[in-house]
Structure 1
């Protein structure tokens, strides 16, 4: 939260990352030269990730896409053919009906 306090009191969830970033800025820069702030890129990245969860969201999205792809490939392996589906319930087509329904 903007106040620095968490939702239920105490420090916010990203406060330790903010402290780390602030400490890095204090150690690596001074009033005359701000070029040391470039060394704090990893700390800044960690703080932004804590605030916005962009990397985590990208990982979740990639995992969901991989899961959907695996599910789609798995379901096609044992799918009945169009001819078997058309023959369901017809006379003299008991073997197709048994294959599709799984009662062999």
Structure 2
């Protein structure tokens, strides 16, 4: 949190999490190390707000699961290479050749 101000001059997007973390530290400061352990969840929330690390991991896992499912169950009507080369003109290879100048 560099300045504490957001892009539009108001508080930054993570300011509420920062205040919660700071409040937790103040309340638990007299307890020493055990007080810091009580604030671990507030620290995780603040860190996630800043860096989105858990969100990124979750998105990568979702993408990997989607790719795995897609590889396991291929599309039934997927276009073939010759369909793509024929510019979508199915069964009209001669017209495709004219267009391509072959």
For residue 37 of structure 1, report the CA deviation from its aligned partner. 1.7
**Count of matched residue positions in the alignment of Structure 1 and Structure 2:** 78
Distance in 2 (alpha carbons) for counterparts of 1:10 and 1:3: 11
TM-score (norm 1): 0.67
Distance in 1 (alpha carbons) for counterparts of 2:29 and 2:59: 37
For residue 34 of structure 1, report the CA deviation from its aligned partner. 2.5
Name the larger-Rg structure: 1
Structure 2 regions of 5+ residues with no counterpart? 81-102
Distance in 2 (alpha carbons) for counterparts of 1:9 and 1:69: 45
TM-score (norm 2): 0.68
The answer for the alignment partner of 1:25 in structure 2 is 25
How well do the aligned residues superpose, as a CA RMSD in angstroms?
Answer: 2.1
Runs (4 or more) in structure 1 with deviation over 4 Å come to: none
Structure 1 regions of 5+ residues with no counterpart? 80-84, 86-104
Question: Where do residues 1-104 of structure 1 align in structure 2 (5 Å cutoff)?
Answer: 1-30=1-30, 34-35=32-33, 36-75=35-74, 78=76
For residue 66 of structure 1, report the CA deviation from its aligned partner. 0.5
